[in-house]
Structure 1
């Protein structure tokens, strides 16, 4: 094999498009956000934000919701993804296409679907009114937002689980089975550790997406206090660019910390299974 080396000018030319995109869509916007949020007194600005009960309550609710969505998504996706990856049955391709179809929907459409399901005129309300006499309406609450986030998170993770499942070594499961391990023990000690790197990465992306999702929250925002809506209210209704920029930085930092932790855990998991 020949070692192919590029002259310095070619290496610069090859990396230039990536640098241009990084500069235009990350570095410059983040620089502007940091500058606006500081407003000449960055420490005072961020101290005021992190000591404000409303803002920190909104951040806490956003983190809790995102964590709940991530856990529920991983549980459902592991079960469905393993079934789809290891079983052949009539209609499997159609089912897979339907499960991944929500990837094509923007957040506003997902929010509208939640309203049609659990809104004042939704299907669940109509059925519950006939069965119990009470109309169940939860589309405009954290529960409705949880359902919406779950709806567009599951397809992403199912695809990851199916890809990871194809890389598992079947001989490990056969060896465990021959030694008398039960199906639950095989799943706990062989399958889940093998899926761990993919699950951690997919869970981190699911969490980050839920933290910053806006379209669904905006569609359902009646009784919902999540940080993207708080940021939107700050710069539209209150015309406070400093507050909006500062909260955006805080949201970005929390999400980045989770992604960094996921990268560390994924690396450790890969090393452990190597």
Structure 2
């Protein structure tokens, strides 16, 4: 049988373009970012940031918001995804297409839509004014940002749930039902464990997207203290490149750590599929 293995020099030549792009667009910028963040006193710079209450609160609020968005997204997406997978009805394809529509919107547009819904002149404010005599306005707070992140996170996870659910072995669920298991028992003991690797992987991607999202936060930034906005403020308004770079490195490390935990829990193959 003919050996189709490429010589080492050819493998290196084929890898060279990818390695060049990796170095130019990731390795070198990250190295420069870390160098700037050192500010001549690497440990002192990070120690000052991690002991500053303003920066620490911004980090924790960002992480907490991203975790809440991820949890809510997974719950809603599992319900919607399983329903769409297991039921056929007129207009289903149109509905699935509409569910994926938010993927086409940039963060600024999503933020504007949250303002139209829950801003000072928004729909919710008009309804609450008519019913209770005062306007309910939360677009410019963490609640509004939560709503915006949820809006563009759900379509990704719904599609992942639908794809994973369609590949499940239906005979296992049917066997459980034949043994007397009810719908909730089948969901708890069969369906969700089978979907768990995909949910962990897609949840990690959802978290990473939320923790670093900027466009929606920028549009709604009135009473919002998340790390991307803090980095933007330090870089543009305060011209503090060292702090902005250090906060960017910290944000990247936190995101990388979450992705690595998810990879270990879900497996590298599933993690790649979830991305």
Determine whether 1:49 maps to 2:49.
yes
- After TM superposition, where is structure 1 displaced by more than 4 Å over at least 4 residues in a row? none
CA–CA distance in structure 2, aligned partners of residues 250 and 267 of structure 1? 25
> Which stretches in structure 1 are left out of the alignment for 5+ residues?
none
Q: Structure 1 length normalisation: TM-score? A: 0.96
Matches within 5 A, 1:51-66: 51-66=51-66
CA–CA distance in structure 1, aligned partners of residues 58 and 245 of structure 2? 15
String of CA shifts for 1:134-164, please: whole Å, max 9, x gaps. Answer: 1000000000000000000000101110110
Q: SS at the partner of 1:222?
A: coil
Deviates more, 1:127-136 or 1:57-66: 127-136
CA–CA distance in structure 2, aligned partners of residues 112 and 163 of structure 1? 31
Determine whether 1:18 maps to 2:18.
yes
CA RMSD after TM alignment: 1.3
CA–CA distance in structure 1, aligned partners of residues 217 and 37 of structure 2? 24
Aligned partner of 1:150 in structure 2 is 150
CA contact (8 A) 1:214 1:229 kept: yes
Aligned partner of 1:241 in structure 2 is 241
Aligned partner of 1:98 in structure 2 is 98
Aligned partner of 1:27 in structure 2 is 27
Count of matched residue pairs: 270
Aligned partner of 1:202 in structure 2 is 202
Deviation at 1:189, TM superposition (A): 0.6
Aligned partner of 2:273 in structure 1 is none
Matches within 5 A, 1:1-274: 3-267=3-267
CA contact (8 A) 1:227 1:251 kept: yes
CA contact (8 A) 1:197 1:269 kept: no
Q: Structure 2 length normalisation: TM-score? A: 0.96
> Which stretches in structure 2 are left out of the alignment for 5+ residues?
271-275
Q: SS at the partner of 2:224?
A: coil
Deviation at 1:3, TM superposition (A): 4.7
CA–CA distance in structure 1, aligned partners of residues 14 and 105 of structure 2? 34
Deviation at 1:269, TM superposition (A): 11
String of CA shifts for 1:86-124, please: whole Å, max 9, x gaps. Answer: 211100010000000000000000000000000000011
Deviation at 1:4, TM superposition (A): 2.2
String of CA shifts for 1:189-213, please: whole Å, max 9, x gaps. Answer: 1000110111000000000000000
Deviation at 1:9, TM superposition (A): 2.2
String of CA shifts for 1:208-242, please: whole Å, max 9, x gaps. Answer: 00000000000000000000000000011110000
CA–CA distance in structure 2, aligned partners of residues 34 and 57 of structure 1? 22
CA–CA distance in structure 1, aligned partners of residues 265 and 60 of structure 2? 23
Deviation at 1:13, TM superposition (A): 2.1
CA–CA distance in structure 2, aligned partners of residues 185 and 10 of structure 1? 55
